[in-house]
Amino acid sequence: MKYNTEQINGIAKSVVKLVEENLKQKEKSTQPTIADFEKEFRAVLREIGAEALGLFLSGLQTTPGQTIECECGGKLQYQRMRPACLITVFGRIVYKRAYYAGCSCKKGKAPLDERYGLEPGTFSAGMARLMALAGIGFSFEESEKWLKEFLMFDISENSVRAETEKMGLIQDQEEKKAIEASQDEKALQRRLRETKELPKRLYGSIDAAKVRIEPRAKQGETVPEHEDWRDMKVGCFYQAEPIPSIQRSGRQRQKAARDGTVFRTKDHRYFCDICHVDEFGKLVWASGCQVKADLASELVFVCDGAVWIWDLVTHYYPTAKQIVDWFHAEEHLKKLADAALSDQPEHQKWLNSVTEALWQGQVEDVVLACQKLESKHPHIQPTSTYFANNAERMRYDQFREDGYLIGSGTIESGCKQIVTQRLKRSGAQWSFDGAIQTAKARAVWLSGEWATLCTKRALLPLAI
């Protein structure tokens, strides 16, 4: 155990007595259950925690001096031991600390608050962390209920929203710093000198998903009649490793029989924004610099065939290997067959033939087959251009031989987890900034960097 066993046992016995006395005072027509006991212990431990934390913070206050320096350059005079409240994971706590005032600038100061990042009347860093975690996982309304069930006291929906968006805002600010650093030649050279271990093969993927933005009128304007759907652009850098045969599921074994190797991805680093493609490109570059994508022995981008994506990749990472996601390419063939061939045997025969040709990297044959089918059905959406324009990104036989991942499931999953599961919940309506900040906070969680972001939240300067 972390603490002295004998001391813990003594405290536990005292807690038991408190719970027993409280249960005796309650009239129950039925025999208490284990759930009743658990609830009682949680309640008393929460109250003990609140009282103890208040006493602990008060105890951090050393003997106050009579005067201290003011930020304006003047002098602040000791006034009194002033109480303050804070909302923590134990609920509302009260502590006392030395308070100073009397400067000509009319500002007061509590050095203890500044030293430990305490902002009276608001939430503690630990409480803010839990609120934001609820906010990125559930709707804000659900978060309110979830937190009450776990913490045993009420937190408003708007408070959860504010703390979630604050986390996203901090991440946005960190990304802006990263963008600035990624465009600083001296910073890049210093990074190159300090870097010891470089990734051997790193993957990148980019995609986008629609988010509904609530129409809000500017001052003096009427509210727009229709909502605005915006592209949440999502990117991810990651690594891939083969799945050992003993760990493969039935579906993965079937896939391995054809593909030869089945991969799983790891070390995901997600990033996202709603912005012009040029601005997102800066984030793609900055995020890549943070994971040393530009220094990797081999950088591979697996994406769908969107022109804007490949333009970004070519601009920022011109030497990267470019692969069109196999499943998107296969889906284009199926859509063409569905639109052009109503006869099922003919449909299946044509689709099997061109899919196999594509799998073998024979893109030119696929283009000719598509053009031939399109010439007989001029009314359908042409597909041959898509394959012609991406021919070098579809040499799947060579990609498999070189051991590359050819599916962009990682970014598909990222879009689903960031946008679909959180931003597209039933009835969800977002402000422009709210959608971005919530998505950015959730992307940090999915990237395994939540603790780092929360540390930055805890170190924010107080608004005094």
pLDDT at 463: 44
Q: How far apart are alpha carbons 167 and 454 in whole angstroms?
A: 8
Q: How far apart are alpha carbons 86 and 20 in whole angstroms?
A: 30
Lowest mean per-residue pLDDT among 65-74, 138-147, 406-415, 455-464: 455-464
Q: How far is residue 416 CA from its own chain's centroid?
A: 12
Predicted TM-score (pTM) of the model is 0.90
Q: Which helix (H) or strand (E) holds 428?
A: none
| pLDDT one-digit tens code per residue, 274-308 | 999 999 999 999 999 999 999 999 999 999 989 99
Q: How far apart are alpha carbons 272 and 181 in whole angstroms?
A: 18
pLDDT at 208: 97
Q: Is the pLDDT of residue 113 over 50?
A: yes
| pLDDT one-digit tens code per residue, 38-54 | 999 999 999 999 999 99
- Band of residue 425 on the pLDDT scale cut at 50, 70, 90: confident
Lowest mean per-residue pLDDT among 173-182, 241-250, 326-335: 241-250
C-beta separation of 377 from 339 below 8 A: yes
pLDDT at 223: 56
Q: Which two tokens stand for residue 188?
A: 């890049």
pLDDT at 464: 34
C-beta separation of 238 from 267 below 8 A: yes
Q: What are phi and psi of 408, to 5 degrees?
A: -100, 35
Domain ranges of the chain: 6-56, 180-325+407-452, 328-397
Q: Any idea which residue has 């500044």 for tokens? A: 114
Mean of the per-residue pLDDT values of the chain: 92
pLDDT at 215: 74
Q: Is the pLDDT of residue 199 over 80?
A: yes
C-beta separation of 326 from 407 below 8 A: yes
Q: Is the pLDDT of residue 443 over 50?
A: yes
Q: How far apart are alpha carbons 152 and 239 in whole angstroms?
A: 41
* Rounded average pLDDT over 262-266: 91
- Band of residue 343 on the pLDDT scale cut at 50, 70, 90: confident
Q: Helix %, strand %, coil % for the chain, to 5?
A: 55, 15, 30
C-beta separation of 107 from 464 below 8 A: yes
pLDDT at 313: 98
Burial of 144 (0-12, 13-18, 19+ CB in 10 A): buried
- Band of residue 222 on the pLDDT scale cut at 50, 70, 90: low
Residues of the chain above pLDDT 70, percent: 95
What lies within 8 Å, CB to CB, of 114 at 6+ separation is 462, 464
Q: Which two tokens stand for residue 255?
A: 């896939």
- In three-state secondary structure terms, 408 is coil
Give 190-197 contacts, CB < 8 A, sequence gap 24+. 191/289, 192/295, 195/292, 195/295
Q: Is the pLDDT of residue 111 over 90?
A: yes
Q: Which helix (H) or strand (E) holds 414?
A: helix 409-415
* Rounded average pLDDT over 369-385: 90
Q: How far apart are alpha carbons 33 and 305 in whole angstroms?
A: 59
The Cα diameter of the chain in Å comes to 93
Q: Is the pLDDT of residue 169 over 60?
A: yes
* Amino acid identity for residue 406 in this structure: I
pLDDT at 22: 85
Lowest mean per-residue pLDDT among 24-33, 242-251, 310-319: 24-33
Q: Which two tokens stand for residue 143?
A: 């978060």
Q: Is the pLDDT of residue 117 over 90?
A: no
What lies within 8 Å, CB to CB, of 345 at 6+ separation is none
C-beta separation of 383 from 239 below 8 A: no
